[in-house]
Structure 1
Amino acid sequence: MPSSHSTRSQAFIARSTIQHVRLYAYRLPLLRQLQYSVKRMRVRHGFFIELEDAEGRRGLGEVSYLPGFHPQIGYQIRLELLLTLQMIHSGDINLFQRTSDMFPIHWKWKVPVSPLIRFALDQAFLHLLCQQHDTPLSHIWNGKPHLRIPTNALLNDLNEQAVFRCMTFREEGYPAIKIKVGRKPFRQEIRLLEDIRSALGDQIQLRLDANRRWELEAAIAFGKAVAPLNIEYIEEPLRDPRMVPQFYEATGIPVALDESIGEARDVEKMLLPGVQAIVFKPEFFGELSTTYQLIKRVQQRGIRPILSCSFYTGYTLATLVQLASAWIDDLSPQGLSTFLYFKQDILETSLRPRGGAFFLTEVIDHQYQVNRNMLTLIRSGI
């Protein structure tokens, strides 16, 4: 278990100022069609902000959006990113470094900036800071981070091949499988889930994700039907998450929340009876200090934090693996398996878990081996 050191991050002060800011775009093909909400996607588009200091050290921060999932769409993100570069140059966005608490940086915004971009700027500067100090990101907060970070596998399509794929996940050593539900007829999904549990036995945790598809009555019916299958939790079963206590009382199945936690202020009011875990996607909260504080808060309440992201590249995956290793005390399988959908990645060597877990030393070794042939320069400033 990591042991927090309240003064550790205070030593990480920038040794050189930012001299250059660049904006890149990327386009990555997927191995298979990705279905989310009512959208389908075969190519992943996104951006990177790059900060460079006077000695030529660089840090990248990723801005990736899913149309229909994030509030912005492509041209809006691109425009805001170009404006962000101008605001950094003009001083409307300033970076300050803290020396009095657990988070080493703080941005001051004179104008509103979307959480997606605030997250990317934090990510970029923290990685730049790590290179200036020749220290892994995981060691900024914690001198003894977890060395092995388990993750769940992801089954995005519950179809007739689902049993075979889940057995493959078991052979690969995954401790848990997250399965998307609520997209097929009720009885078909129940039958497939029964087949999966029968094939896997009880050695692997099953996590279901309904993406807020059901009203209370339908959610309870589904929950009662899968209750004998030893389900670890159902993520977002309800359109109205305030009904979680009623669902839990009727089914006995714990709940994880994700989309219901849209902003930091939502977290405290959603710590309801029946909520066992909260999935944190840092890009929705902006500054990483917010995610850090929320994780510490829910852990104090006995609720498990799960770090995840919305199909970001291996670069951000490596960032989240390191943050999970440092921030989360009792590590359950994290939601870091979106790499399964990428045909190509930004990293020269794509991150892959072994035995259902990432190993911190391997992640640190590969984090900065970026294939720049995959990046297209859009703008350079300062």
Structure 2
Amino acid sequence: MMLSDFSITKHELRYKNPFTISGKTFTSKEVFYITLTDQEGCRATGECAPFPQFGTESVEAAGILLKSLSAEKINPGFLQGIKAKYPAVHAGMEQALLQLRMLHGERTESLFPGIRLKSSVKVNGVTGISDYESTISKIRGLLAEGYHVIKMKTGRPDPEDDIETVKRVRGELGYDFGLRLDLNGAWDVQKTCKYLPKLDQYNIEYVEQPVQLLHDFLHIKGCSSIPVAADESLMSFLAAMNIIENELAQVFIIKPAVLGGVTEALRIISLAEANGIKPVVTTSLESSLGKRMAVFCAAALKEDIHCGLSTAGMISNDPTTDIYPVNSGVISLGNHLL
């Protein structure tokens, strides 16, 4: 495919409520929209959403690379060369290129042999860290909207407050819905081994990233019956292989926008499914344009798994219309647009 034009637009996404990951609080995020035009006049746009906390290049590094490019420089060899060092740029470039190929009539079956997309994807609801009453009220509202699985952010300064919150949620709202916990690396090994077993009785589906370092996953093995999910530690295909070989996690949180794009995410999904690891696809708080990559990958899962795709509403100034809104806890795919 020959390109005739290339352009970038920088956007600052502003979040309605601050969120904290690995000790860093975010109120906004800078992303780049990459627009490619081919010689037939077809135009497509992909999103580059750097997230260094998840192993991508920085916004500054992505910007320098993108500003140095021209349509003539973008080819398969170039893309392969930047994949490891610039996964966010690669993801945005790949998204735009895949769109162009689809505009020219290529179908999913030819782009990704062996992949069969579902017509809909189940989605989990999300609640942030708050006081007991607000957390319970938020979850009650999500259940009323039709969500059947809830991911609850945890990692309060006092772990006992997390334990008490889970206890009250189950006590007041019952066990008729799935409950996932996301610690974002807030605990160390000692805290994890002390407090995670206290949650065993509450039927937790899994806990995401209880400790920051992948090495520490080794030291929390067996301390609780709750499955552990690798999130921030799952930065590449090699990291995925390492986790599987050392039996460090039972769940993979797969973020296409930070792993290098759809193709790499699908490789990791295939690896997980072949090794009995549960793959859960989520966004990484990019705009609704980048969200399309995550929805596409979630639809490719063999099992019917609730995925983390309800984040578009967290952005107050989304530059793109969300073509995959959540209705009653479900996203309908329609024409499988990227």
TM-score by length of 1: 0.79
Q: Which one is further off, 123-132 or 61-70?
A: 61-70
Q: Aligned letter for 1:280?
A: I
Q: 2:49 aligns with which of 46, 64, 72?
A: 64
Q: Which residue of 2 aligns with 1:167?
A: 140
CA contact (8 A) 1:306 1:332 kept: yes
Q: Aligned letter for 2:4?
A: Q
Q: Give the CA deviation at 1:348.
A: 3.2
Q: Which one is further off, 350-359 or 33-42?
A: 33-42
Q: Residues 203 and 137 from structure 1, CA distance in 2 versus in 1: closer, same or farther, beyond 3 angstroms?
A: farther
Q: Give yes or no for the alignment of 1:313 onto 2:287.
A: yes
Cα distance per residue 1:241-298 (max 9 Å; x no partner): 3454653422111111111122221111212446221011223332533222221111
Whole-Å separation in 1 of the counterparts to 2:169 and 2:46: 38
Cα distance per residue 1:103-141 (max 9 Å; x no partner): xxx944389751111111111100111111175799854
Q: 1:359 aligns with which of 327, 332, 337?
A: 332
Q: Aligned letter for 1:188?
A: D
CA contact (8 A) 2:37 2:43 kept: yes
Q: Give yes or no for the alignment of 1:342 onto 2:315.
A: yes
Q: Aligned letter for 1:55?
A: E
CA contact (8 A) 1:118 1:286 kept: yes
Q: Aligned letter for 1:128?
A: L
Q: Residues 28 and 350 from structure 1, CA distance in 2 versus in 1: closer, same or farther, beyond 3 angstroms?
A: farther
Q: Which residue of 1 aligns with 2:15?
A: 30
Whole-Å separation in 2 of the counterparts to 1:353 and 1:308: 14
Q: Give the CA deviation at 1:156.
A: 2.4
CA contact (8 A) 2:57 2:87 kept: no
Whole-Å separation in 2 of the counterparts to 1:289 and 1:68: 21
Q: Which residue of 2 aligns with 1:41?
A: 26
Q: Which residue of 2 aligns with 1:94?
A: 75
CA RMSD, 1 decimal = 2.7
TM-score by length of 2: 0.89
For the residue of structure 2 that corresponds to 1:270, the secondary structure is helix
Q: Give yes or no for the alignment of 1:300 onto 2:285.
A: no
Q: Residues 292 and 110 from structure 1, CA distance in 2 versus in 1: closer, same or farther, beyond 3 angstroms?
A: closer
Q: 2:102 aligns with which of 130, 139, 144?
A: 130
Q: Aligned letter for 1:165?
A: K
CA contact (8 A) 2:4 2:37 kept: yes
Q: Residues 259 and 44 from structure 1, CA distance in 2 versus in 1: closer, same or farther, beyond 3 angstroms?
A: closer
Q: Residues 110 and 135 from structure 1, CA distance in 2 versus in 1: closer, same or farther, beyond 3 angstroms?
A: closer
Q: Which residue of 1 aligns with 2:237?
A: 264
Q: Give the CA deviation at 1:31.
A: 2.0
| 4+ residue runs over 6 A deviation | 136-139
Percentage identity across paired residues of the two chains: 22
Q: Aligned letter for 2:35?
A: E
Please identify the structure whose Cα radius of gyration is greater. Answer: 1
Contiguous gaps of at least 5 residues in structure 1: 1-13, 97-105, 369-382
